[in-house]
Amino acid sequence: MSYRSTPAGFAARVTRSAAADPGTLALSLAVEDVSGAADFIASIDGSVLAGFSGRTVWRKAKVEIGYEPVLPLVGTISIDESVDSPITSASFEVLSDRVAQNDAETWGWGDQAASITLYAGRKPATMAEWLAFEGWTDSRSNGGLYKARGAFRCVGLAAAWAGTPGCIRVGPFRGLTRGALLAAYATSVGTAIANDDILDLGAVVSRPVEINGSTLLEVAQRFGEIERWVPRVTVEGALEIVTFDSILTDTPVFSFDPTNYMTIEEQPVESPPTKLVLSGSFIPDSIRLATGGAETVRTETPGVDADGLPTLTITDTTTAAGIVTNVRVEEKRTYARDGTTAEPSVLQTYSVVEEVWRYQYADLGDGIERPTTQLHQHEKSTWMVTGIPCSSGNTLGNVWLSTGRFLGTRASLMEVGRTATEHTWNPASASVSACGLAKELVTESALYSKLAPTSGGLVYPDGSKRMEDAYSLQVIRIDENVWHDYRDRSTPEVQKETWLHTLKVDSVYGGEYLVKGDWRLETWTMEAAGATHRHRVIGTAWIPGAILWGGALSTQSATPPVDEIIDGPLLGPPVGSTDAALLRQTVQVNVYDWSALLPFVPLTESETLEFAETPAELDRVAEWRMLLARCDKLLIRHRLLPFLKIGAPVLVTSAPRSIVERRGIVWSTKRTATLPDQATSQETLVYVLPED
Amino acid sequence: MSGIVETIYFGGENLACGPDTIGERASFAESVERLADTSAVTDRPAPWDGCPDVISKLSFSLSWPTSKSADHRMFARLRAKAAPFDVCLWKYAAAIFSGNGVRTEFVLPWRLALKSLDVGSWPAPEEYIETEYATEVLVDGVTLTEMTDYTIGVPDEIGRTPITFTAAPSDGDGNVEVYAVPLLLMRRIGDEAGYNREAGMTRTLTVEEVA
């Protein structure tokens, strides 16, 4: 064996030597700088490697509880680690009267600091020392009539935070990587991540992240399946992330072959799912990857109408920072415009519908102004190729071929309808409902002329009597909702008023007027914060009167309010927030069928992945699960190798199983030292990757 | 003198009549396993600092077809005695150590009979013993001189005896050799007696090394 050490420690690669000298090792140990394959190998002192890897090795084990040597040890010392449960555990037995659990002077009293140090060397005089375990005593038992034999099970230092639930809440587009999120989560449970580059590990997350109550390991494993991380715990009790992708490419840290293992056996196979249905919610790339600039995309859809004549629909969609702010749909048909004289039938504009959304914008952390959930205005306008109807007495009127009477001689594109919605938001404050909607005003306009009282008005060709001698774009309905937020007062309640102004025939004058009516006051009383909410409609009344335009004020006559009580969920004004981007998330379900690759009984498994950022990450998870399902699980018993940690890439050769230098992953390790001969060995479960 | 010394030291006294046969068996503290390629790997314990390369425990089976009545009290006492007792067969044992160029103290797994037993317990006249049963210490094949090159310390409570060298033995495999007559701490694990009209009492004792 040859090795060299560097000042910063080193990474080791052990391979089978071509020709071992008689009496020397069959292994050769090539040592590289940490900058090489250091992802997988904890820095370890060279003399430790030399001590543990010999053909004849002198060994010693030291167990301490409460920083005091535990003697005499009997039976077997065992130290276990696994990818599935990376918290290190250890067990040992001691023959002593100091194992009682009710005596403060004994090792069995409460949970005490525990450590296991293994020594090894190629001669007793020179022993290398390796701290194999550090933690606390956990469960303990003892038996024996005359001499007590105490059995101790210990957990690693990570037990201090392993069961602690953490919490993290991060808004969208914060520009944080999964590594940074994991580091923040680690902070919330009171620990830290061992990787120096943790803040740069993993993809940048755009979706909002809110995790409560999970342990750090659970979060690391859930992130890890997407990022292909293996979370493991250092002896010092810190969480360490190993990236699995490098397992496929990095230099293996050890090569298992018959010259260095004692036994090898394939583990029982459980039928894996042959079909995986994975789903997730995603922010479309147009938003996720947006740069903030406005962009208009035009699509043209040609077609034919019922008569076989060509049509064309042109859609212009404008997005800003990925959010749709304007959609204009122009419909063209093949027809002849109406008018006083005939025109040829050609493909021309027939109608235009345009919608505009105006949002509150906010920078959510990545320097890009994105619309928030606060929608200030929404307008929808409709244009048609038509004319302005006029009364029979209007001197500017013309009779068109379609028998109508219109201003002008030819139909042209004009606005015939518009619906405008305006929102007024409460400013965010501690006392008032944060960013709650204070008022919603919906105004509907149309090309129209109000009907006149029977006693007057202008006569139209269709026989109707109207108040103006030509149609115009005018308001025909106003719907106003006002929320009164009393939550800054002693009585926690919200009231909603609804005022509907609509065109109605006035009972006194007979004409059509915009009147205030359908008065309604609703109160939400929160009887207990966050618990029961009572929705109480105080009154529903029709109040003719309050003529707003074109008439005198009539007397109001309200009908008595009608009580209506509805218990139900919290009602209140819609809430917007300048904190949250307007996230239009889509749900995608991907089905992965591996039946052809996996010769097992068909089995379908479904899961929604909470933290996948893109559909491509679903693919990544599926590929990874399939890879693991196809791995050959080999349990290899060999001499103890301190540097062989979980997540390390190795090579395996086992001729009876037709496995020759195949790449694998160390999935779990079980290190044992048998007393009193100090025979030390290790059982390593290796996931051998499929050949393809 | 390769056979049985009549006056072997057993159970705290010199036997009046030595056993007819003594069977000796060494058990080694080591664990040998074979790798898949059939080659062996060996784990040896290093239970104390400065321990020898190989640690073994001896067990003896001593058989008396006839015994002297002077020894009967000793037989009876060993049968009732709880604590281990001293045994010296006046046979050489070796302890081999590997120096590392630094370590100066090596610890024998037993006491030295010549230093531990008083004159009355020696099997032969003093001048004879000085040459026949003297401790010999060699480093790299060269015999060293006691007091000048090394000193033998006081054994601990279970009989482990330190040897301190003036200069640290060099780095080598098995290059420190100690030949000496050990005084072993043993316990009785078997005791059979027989009585017949002609020969009196027959006795078979089985003992094993404790410390």
Token pair for A651: 């090579």
Average pLDDT over residues A531-559: 45
DSSP β-ladder status, A167-170 and A113-123: unpaired
- Between CA B113 and CA B121 the distance in angstroms is 9
Token pair for A319: 């997005």
Residues of chain A with Cβ-Cβ distance to B97 below 8 Å are 124-125
Query: What is the distance in angstroms between the Cα of A127 and the nearest Cα belonging to chain B?
Result: 9
Residue A69 near residue A137 (C-beta atoms within 8 A):
no
A122: nearest Cα among A61, A49, A223, A175 = A49
**What is the average pLDDT value for chain A, to the nearest integer?**
80
Q: Which pLDDT value is given to residue A38? A: 33
Test A59 with B29 for CB contact under 8 angstroms: no
Average pLDDT over residues A246-269: 89
**What is the tens place of the pLDDT at every residue in A88-116?**
999 999 999 899 888 888 999 988 999 99
Test A59 with B46 for CB contact under 8 angstroms: yes
The yes-or-no verdict on residue A15 having pLDDT over 50 is no
Residues of chain A with Cβ-Cβ distance to B99 below 8 Å are 125
Q: Which pLDDT value is given to residue A490? A: 47
The yes-or-no verdict on residue B186 having pLDDT over 70 is yes
Q: Is A679 on the interface with B (CB under 8 A)?
A: yes
Size of interface A-B (CB pairs under 8 A): 88
Test A678 with B50 for CB contact under 8 angstroms: no
Which residues, other chains included, contact B125 with Cβ-Cβ below 8 Å and sequence gap of 6+? none
The yes-or-no verdict on residue B153 having pLDDT over 50 is yes
The yes-or-no verdict on residue B167 having pLDDT over 60 is yes
- Between CA A237 and CA A232 the distance in angstroms is 9
Q: Which pLDDT value is given to residue A554? A: 43
Q: Is A263 on the interface with B (CB under 8 A)?
A: yes
The yes-or-no verdict on residue A31 having pLDDT over 60 is no
Residue A49 near residue A29 (C-beta atoms within 8 A):
yes
Residues of chain A with Cβ-Cβ distance to B39 below 8 Å are 26, 55, 259
Reading phi first (left if > 0) and then psi (alpha if -120 to 50, else beta), residue A364 is in: alpha
The angle subtended at Cα A441 by Cα A435 and Cα A443, nearest 5°, is 150
Query: What is the distance in angstroms between the Cα of B130 and the nearest Cα belonging to chain A?
Result: 31
Residues of chain A with Cβ-Cβ distance to B45 below 8 Å are 58-60, 676-678
The yes-or-no verdict on residue A525 having pLDDT over 80 is no
- Between CA A106 and CA A100 the distance in angstroms is 6
| Number of Cα atoms under 13 Å in the Cβ half of residue B119 | 4
Residue with tokens 């069928």: A593
Option in B36, B97, B102 nearest A262 (CB): B36
Question: pTM for the whole thing?
Answer: 0.67
A123, A129, A637: best mutation site toward chain B, by most B Cβ within 10 Å? Answer: A123
Which residues, other chains included, contact B56 with Cβ-Cβ below 8 Å and sequence gap of 6+? B26, B27, B28, B29
The yes-or-no verdict on residue A148 having pLDDT over 60 is yes
Residue A487 binned pLDDT confidence (cut-offs 50, 70, 90): low
Residues of chain A with Cβ-Cβ distance to B103 below 8 Å are 125
Look at B173 and B132; give whichever has higher pLDDT.
B173
In whole angstroms, how large is the CA radius of gyration of chain B?
19
Query: In this structure, what DSSP letter does residue A251 have?
Result: P
In whole angstroms, how large is the CA radius of gyration of chain A?
39
**A266-269 long-range contacts, CB within 8 A, separation 24+:** A266/A632, A266/A633, A266/A634, A266/A635, A266/A657, A267/A633, A267/A634, A267/A635, A267/A685, A269/A633
Residue A286 near residue A319 (C-beta atoms within 8 A):
yes
Q: Which pLDDT value is given to residue A364? A: 62
Test A679 with B31 for CB contact under 8 angstroms: yes
ipTM of the complex, rounded to two decimals: 0.86
Residue A13 binned pLDDT confidence (cut-offs 50, 70, 90): very low
A203: nearest Cα among A175, A166, A167, A244 = A175
Three-class secondary structure assignment of A428-476? CCCCCCCCEEEEEEEEEEEEECCECCCCCCEECCCCCEECCCECEEEEE
Q: Is A676 on the interface with B (CB under 8 A)?
A: yes
Residue A245 near residue A642 (C-beta atoms within 8 A):
no
Token pair for B62: 């001593």
Q: Residue A365: what residue type? A: G
**What is the average pLDDT value for chain B, to the nearest integer?**
90
Q: What percent of chain A has pLDDT over 70?
A: 77
Residues of chain A with Cβ-Cβ distance to B105 below 8 Å are none
Test A56 with B41 for CB contact under 8 angstroms: yes
Q: Is A265 on the interface with B (CB under 8 A)?
A: no
Beta bridge partner(s), residue B43: A57, B31
Option in B35, B42, B98 nearest A262 (CB): B35
Average pLDDT over residues A198-210: 88
In order of A121, A134, B53, the CA distances from A117 in angstroms are: 13, 9, 21
Query: What is the distance in angstroms between the Cα of A288 and the nearest Cα belonging to chain B?
Result: 55
Q: Which pLDDT value is given to residue A69? A: 94
A672, A677, A682: best mutation site toward chain B, by most B Cβ within 10 Å? Answer: A677
Residue B128 binned pLDDT confidence (cut-offs 50, 70, 90): low
Q: Is B75 helix (H, G, I), strand (E, B) or coil?
A: helix
Average pLDDT over residues A556-573: 49
Test B36 with A674 for CB contact under 8 angstroms: no
The yes-or-no verdict on residue A378 having pLDDT over 80 is yes
B35, B165, B173: best mutation site toward chain A, by most A Cβ within 10 Å? Answer: B35
Test A125 with B99 for CB contact under 8 angstroms: yes
Token pair for B115: 């230093």
Beta bridge partner(s), residue A504: A513
The yes-or-no verdict on residue A520 having pLDDT over 60 is no
Q: Is A24 on the interface with B (CB under 8 A)?
A: no
In order of A261, A341, B43, B54, the CA distances from A123 in angstroms are: 22, 115, 11, 10
Option in A26, A263, A680 nearest B43 (CB): A680
Look at A109 and A175; give whichever has higher pLDDT.
A109
Which residues, other chains included, contact A670 with Cβ-Cβ below 8 Å and sequence gap of 6+? A78, A79, A80, A682, A683, A684
Residue A443 near residue A475 (C-beta atoms within 8 A):
yes
Q: Please count the other Cβ atoms lying within 10 Å of the Cβ belonging to residue A506.
A: 18
Residues of chain B with Cβ-Cβ distance to A678 below 8 Å are 31, 43-47
Q: Is A656 on the interface with B (CB under 8 A)?
A: no
Average pLDDT over residues A51-57: 80
Residue A452 near residue A464 (C-beta atoms within 8 A):
no
- Between CA A333 and CA B211 the distance in angstroms is 109
Q: Residue A487: what residue type? A: R
Residue A312 binned pLDDT confidence (cut-offs 50, 70, 90): very high
Option in B40, B41, B43 nearest A677 (CB): B43
Test A258 with B30 for CB contact under 8 angstroms: no
Q: Please count the other Cβ atoms lying within 10 Å of the Cβ belonging to residue A581.
A: 29
Q: Please list the helix, strand and coil fractions of chain B in percent, rounded to the nearest 5, in that order.
A: 10, 45, 45
Residues of chain B with Cβ-Cβ distance to A56 below 8 Å are 41-42, 44
Q: Which pLDDT value is given to residue A518? A: 54
One DSSP character per residue, A354-371 reads: EEEEEEEEEE-SSS-EEE
Look at A651 and A163; give whichever has higher pLDDT.
A651
Q: Is A430 on the interface with B (CB under 8 A)?
A: no
Q: What's phi and psi for A282, nearest 5 deg?
A: -135, 145
Q: What percent of chain A has pLDDT over 90?
A: 43
Average pLDDT over residues B9-32: 90
**What is the tens place of the pLDDT at every residue in B187-210?**
999 999 999 887 688 999 999 999
Q: What is the dihedral of CA B42, B47, B48, B49, to 10 degrees?
A: 40
Q: Which pLDDT value is given to residue A542? A: 43
Test B35 with A258 for CB contact under 8 angstroms: yes
Q: Which pLDDT value is given to residue A516? A: 61
| Number of Cα atoms under 13 Å in the Cβ half of residue A267 | 19
Q: Is B186 helix (H, G, I), strand (E, B) or coil?
A: strand
